[in-house]
Amino acid sequence: MIRYYVDDGASVPEPVECDPPGWPHRDAKGREQFDNSHFDTEAAAWKQLAASGAACVSLSNDHVLHAKRELRRALRHLAQRVARNEKIRKGVEAFEMLCGPGEAAR
């Protein structure tokens, strides 16, 4: 019996001989026949590929959104550090104006 094999890296269903069909048997290439990898019809295999592709896109989108949130958080933290360092620099300048150059380093 010809069944249609798909996996996450596949771009098209692969027709493969399966005798006997179904789990726990192996196809002609030695792969176990699972419900989510071997299908009786090409249409069912295409449906699985489409669902798998949609899930990958959704997961990738989630990763991008997470990275954007982390980047915004890091930029806020960096802005706070820059503002703090600027206050320190101005304080050193003010101290040196009062006490003379190099006194802040002592």
Query: What is the pLDDT confidence band of residue 106, given thresholds at 50, 70 and 90?
Result: low
pLDDT score of 40: 96
38: which residues sit within 8 A by CB, 6+ positions away?
Answer: 3, 4, 5, 16, 18, 21, 22, 27, 31
d(CA 29, CA 17): 8
Nearest to 28, CA basis, from 18, 42, 20, 38: 18
Banded model confidence at residue 9, pLDDT cuts 50, 70, 90: confident
What is the reported pTM? Answer: 0.60
Give yes or no for a contact between 31 and 5, defined as CB atoms under 8 angstroms apart: yes
DSSP one-letter code for 82? H
State phi, psi for 39 to the nearest 5 degrees.
Answer: -130, 150
Report the run of H or E that residue 38 belongs to, with start and end. Answer: strand 38-39
pLDDT tens column, 22-37: 999 999 999 999 999 9
Give per-residue pLDDT as tens, 35-91.
999 999 999 999 999 999 999 999 999 999 999 999 999 999 999 999 999 999 999
* Confidence band, pLDDT 50/70/90 cuts, at residue 8: confident
